[in-house]
Amino acid sequence: MYCLETKGLYYQYAQQQRILSGIDLKVPEHSIYGFLGPNGAGKTTTMRLVLGLLTSQAGEINIFGRPLAANRLAILRKIGSLIEMPSFYAHLTVTENLRILQSIYRTPVSRIQYVLDITGLNHTGAKPVGKFSLGMKQRFGIAASLLHSPELLILDEPTNGLDPNGMIEVWELLRSLNRQEGLSIFISSHLLAEIERRVTHLGIIHKGELLFQGRLDELQSQAMQYTILSTSDPERALKLVQPFDDTAFIDERQLHTKLLSADSIAAMSRLLVQHEVDLYQITTQQEDLEHLFMHLIGPNS
Ligand SMILES: Nc1ncnc2c1ncn2[C@@H]1O[C@H](COP(=O)(O)OP(=O)(O)OP(=O)(O)O)[C@@H](O)[C@H]1O
């Protein structure tokens, strides 16, 4: 069962400017779904549509199995969100800020202490939120989004601008919310390194199109295998191999080719030796996730 599913989601801010062209998201229940894409890919626009902050122009949005359009309020009550920076009264403490939100949401008062404990903000005392570090402000934003006991959290680049420690703290919090509370989390980032190993599922968006969606191991299985040749003259070796593999390239003075079979490796080594290029080493390697990501989104991104 998907807690969030879109079909053919389409959006443009102005004529001739297509931002999303048919996004089919499938966010499984209880998953941590990383929504990855470079700046301007369409992540925030997708999240705004899913939260009803922008009016959908075409396509379907189903949340907890029901169409958003027909059940907006009931659905939004089950979602916590943080899009860009959290809003707060800068001169009030975290508890005072949460008390205001608690009275708006009409959630039990006891929930305030609970979200303070779970986000580690219970020792901030009389300090006004305006004086918090960026990491603590983000944690306040997550605390506020948890106040009404949501089942799905939608977070738009919540670690943007945080130092490595702040980033680790936010992720530890998200992981414990997912594991202990069973919360489903849909989180965007433009950094593969940040979300690989931390998410259960991944969607890669680029120029308004979803290029990949699935588990991390499914993405890994799309990685290219390369034969890597270490030679005395990589440029000459490249010229010799190119007629047989026009995708061959040099990286760190080593020739990478997709020619993998034993026969083609034997033929390549004969060719190089015939042209007086010494062959020092032949290895095979699977493309790492970072290269696979770059490969998916293309060279000029
Ligand atoms: N209000 C707006 N009016 C016009 N164009 C917009 C508006 N908001 C966003 N865009 C454009 O839509 C495209 C997608 O932006 P969006 O913010 O959804 O991407 P993103 O993946 O979240 O990127 P970032 O990580 O930079 O926030 C960009 O080209 C952006 O300039």
Given ligand 1 and candidates 44, 192, 209, which is best to mutate, with the most ligand atoms within 8 Å of its CB?
44
Ligand 1 centroid to Cα of residue 46, in Å, is: 10
Q: What is the pLDDT of residues 8-61, one digit of tens each?
A: 999 998 877 889 999 999 999 999 999 999 888 999 999 999 998 988 888 999
pLDDT score of 300: 54
Ligand 1 centroid to Cα of residue 111, in Å, is: 35
One domain for residues 191 and 59: yes
pLDDT score of 42: 93
Residue 80: CB atoms within 10 Å: 24
Q: How confident is the model at residue 299 (pLDDT cuts 50, 70, 90)?
A: low
| 13 C-beta closer than 6 A to ligand 1 | yes
One domain for residues 201 and 76: yes
Indicate the residue type of 275.
Answer: H
Q: Once rounded to an integer, what is the mean pLDDT over residues 55-84?
A: 90
Residue-averaged pLDDT of the chain: 89
One domain for residues 24 and 155: yes
| 180 C-beta closer than 6 A to ligand 1 | no
pLDDT score of 36: 93
One domain for residues 24 and 123: yes
Q: Once rounded to an integer, what is the mean pLDDT over residues 183-193?
A: 91
Contact 165, 154 (CB under 8 A): no
Q: Give yes or no for residue 301 having a pLDDT over 80.
A: no
Given ligand 1 and candidates 39, 51, 57, which is best to mutate, with the most ligand atoms within 8 Å of its CB?
39
Residue where the block lists tokens 């030796």: 273
pLDDT score of 95: 93
One domain for residues 145 and 277: no
| 256 C-beta closer than 6 A to ligand 1 | no
**Closest listed residue to residue 268, CA positions, set 248, 297, 293, 292:** 248
> The pTM is what?
0.82
More confident residue, 144 or 85: 144
Q: How many structural domains does the chain have?
A: 2
Last residue of a domain, one of 221, 241, 265: 221
Last residue of a domain, one of 171, 199, 221: 221
Contact 177, 115 (CB under 8 A): no
* Atom in ligand 1 nearest the alpha carbon of residue 47: 18
One domain for residues 173 and 258: no
Last residue of a domain, one of 178, 195, 221: 221
One domain for residues 55 and 69: yes
CATH of the domain at 274: 3.30.70.270
More confident residue, 301 or 91: 91
The residue segments making up the domain with residue 271 are 223-297
Residues 6+ apart with CB under 8 A from 167: 159, 194
| 37 C-beta closer than 6 A to ligand 1 | yes
CATH of the domain at 33: 3.40.50.300
One domain for residues 47 and 175: yes
| 45 C-beta closer than 6 A to ligand 1 | yes
One domain for residues 207 and 257: no
Q: Of all protein residues, whose CA lies closest to atom 16 belonging to ligand 1? A: 42
